[in-house]
Amino acid sequence: MEHILYSIQFADALDIGFLNLFVQLTAYIVPYFLIPAALKTGMGAFSALTGMLNDRSRGFFDRQRKFREGQRQKYNERARGGNRFAGGTKTNFRGRLNRGISGGLTAPGAILDSGNTFKPNNWRAATRVGMQNAHALEIERNMKENQAYQSWMHDDGLNKAASKTRNAAELRSYLSEMRNDDGSRAYEGQALDDAVNRVENVRRSMSTPAFQAMTVRQAGAGGTAYKTAKDATKKTAAGEFWLDVARASKDDDAMASYLVANGRSETVKAGRMDTGGAGFGTTLGVVNKFREKLRNGEEVTLADIEEATKTIHKDVYEGQGGASLVHSSMKPDSIKELAPEMVSSVQDAQASGSDKQFTQSLASLAAVYDGMQGSSPAKAKIVADEVLSKTIDIATLSPEMKARLQPALLQSDGSYQFSGTITYQQAIDGLRGNSDFKEMRREYANEIAQRAGQAPPEPGSEPNPSPLG
């Protein structure tokens, strides 16, 4: 107030006028009224700033907290999986330290969960099971949440390379030798560097057992990494895959069961019935046989892989039948791999001495071929080339079977052929008019149509037209 009175007196003395005085007084007084508004605005800005920093979706502090939680979870999983410190082996100090940490973290909960709290003799086994379960949980979490892995999770060729190697140098060497179908290099230059970096980034973030098991599981999930051998007589794709499963679970029974269960399901979904179509017990038996050799330090030979493949294929064909191969999802490699079993089924039927069983095997084969003609002529050609072209020694046929096959044995001069050979295709053509054969063929065709999700042929009608008649 004193300032205001003084200003009025000063204005009169200097004769500067009332308007100028009013402007000066306004400029002097109004800011006092703006102080509350300024404080309110400042507090609002500060509140927005602190809210942004602490917001779950964009906040700095929360983001850092979530990052730290993720890191703690990752290191905890690695510690439980026996890979807290990189470079650990079975014999060096880091390896022993890793195993000690893993056991220490896993033991209490595992022992309690197993119900062996007051049974010290069972604590070691319970701890081992707990560590094995931790690996499976680590795999599932990384497949769902690890964005670095998701960028190549569905590249079954890269997963196969990752599962077979232990470090960046081995991976680079393996990828350098990979070839495309046309013979060109699959990885070279910058593409090779990028692939190595992507794989090693994920490898470093996981325990070694979980990483190897996860990548071999995904290697089978695409259906293309384990190809049919160039030598058509060597069928090894199934055996090679289950050997890799054995390597990833050599000392871990629970992991072996986990990989067999998931591997069977995912390879069949990928169109590889030849790999995953056998029963769980048969497949686990094959894997365990490989694991025993690996644990004993024995060499796994090509003959071992071929034997394992034949065991799988025999179980697939006996359990699933040829009808399962007609589905459009089955890959051509699956047909190629199982072609020898299709041939064996006919040979075994003839060797049984039962003409009915022999006729059934040919009727089944004819229906499979018919079904493929309708869904995939390219796969039908595989059957024609690798199965229907096989021969039957006429001299080994029973008199009754020769009578059934008279049309196929009839020669151009009107006489019958009683020596030499006829192909499976000629035998099927010769049985075309046989009522038993026609009924069997129709039943198999109906089954195939149902499995393929198609309407079966009308009763009394022929299946899809084919050179088989």
116 — pLDDT class (breaks 50, 70, 90): very low
Sign of the C-alpha dihedral computed for residues 47, 48, 54 and 60 taken in this order: negative
pLDDT of residue 458: 37
User: What integer pLDDT is reported at residue 71 of this predicted model?
Assistant: 63
Instruction: Identify the pLDDT of residue 457.
Output: 36
Residue whose tokens read 């699933």: 320
Give per-residue pLDDT as tens, 125-175: 444 554 556 778 889 888 998 999 999 999 999 999 999 999 999 999 999
Q: Residue 117 above 90 pLDDT?
A: no
Query: What is the rounded average pLDDT of the residues 110-124?
Result: 44
What pLDDT was estimated at residue 42?
Answer: 64
- The Cα 168–Cα 1 span in angstroms is 83
Higher pLDDT, 365 or 57: 365
Cα separations in angstroms, 248 against 211, 245, 287, 324, 399 = 9, 5, 10, 29, 54
Q: What is the mean pLDDT of residues 434-446?
A: 91
Lowest average pLDDT, out of 29-43, 168-182, 200-214, 405-419, goes to 29-43
Beta-bridged to residue 416, according to DSSP, are 410
Q: Residue 283 in contact with residue 275, Cβ under 8 Å?
A: no
pLDDT at 295 over 90: yes
Using the 8-state DSSP alphabet, how is residue 416 labeled? B
Q: What is the pLDDT of residues 424-439, one digit of tens each?
A: 999 999 999 899 999 9
By three-state DSSP, how is residue 6 classified? helix
Residue entry with tokens 């795999």: 139
Say which residue, 348 or 105, is predicted with more confidence.
Answer: 348
pLDDT in tens, 307-351: 999 999 999 988 877 777 887 788 888 898 999 999 999 999 999
134-138 contacts at long range (C-beta below 8 A, 24 or more positions apart): 134/77, 134/80, 134/81, 134/106, 135/81, 135/207, 135/209, 135/210, 135/213, 135/252, 135/255, 136/210, 136/254, 136/255, 136/258, 137/77, 138/77, 138/80, 138/81, 138/206, 138/207, 138/210
User: Cα(224)–Cα(237) distance, rounded to whole angstroms?
Assistant: 10
Which structure tokens are listed for 244? 């890799």
Return the structure tokens found at 362: 């040919």
State mean pLDDT over 296-308.
94
Which tops the pLDDT comparison, 448 or 344? 344
The tokens describing 140, both together, are 């599932």
Tell me what the mean pLDDT of segment 83-102 comes to: 58
* Higher-scoring residue by pLDDT: 445, 287: 287
Between 195 and 453, residue with greater pLDDT: 195
Q: What is the C-alpha to C-alpha distance for residues 336 and 384, in angstroms, rounded to an integer?
A: 11
Confidence of residue 79 (pLDDT cuts 50, 70, 90): low
Mean pLDDT of all residues in 251-265? 91
Report, as an integer, the average pLDDT of 250-265. Answer: 91
CB 323 within 8 A of CB 276: no
Question: Has residue 242 got a pLDDT over 70?
Answer: yes
Does 406 or 214 have the greater pLDDT score?
A: 214
| Count of beta carbons in the 10 Å neighbourhood of residue 434 | 19
Chain mean pLDDT for the chain? 78
CB contact set of 360 (below 8 Å; sequence gap of 6+): 349, 440
Q: Residues 76, 212, 277, CA angle at the centre, nearest 5°? A: 125
What is residue 167's three-state secondary structure? coil
- Terminal-to-terminal C-alpha distance of the chain: 118
d(CA 96, CA 267): 36
Reported confidence tier of residue 396, pLDDT bands at 50, 70, 90: very high
Mean pLDDT for 258-270 is 92
The whole-angstrom separation of Cα 135 and Cα 143 is: 12
Give the mean model confidence (pLDDT) for residues 195-215.
92
**Average pLDDT estimate for 381-389:** 93
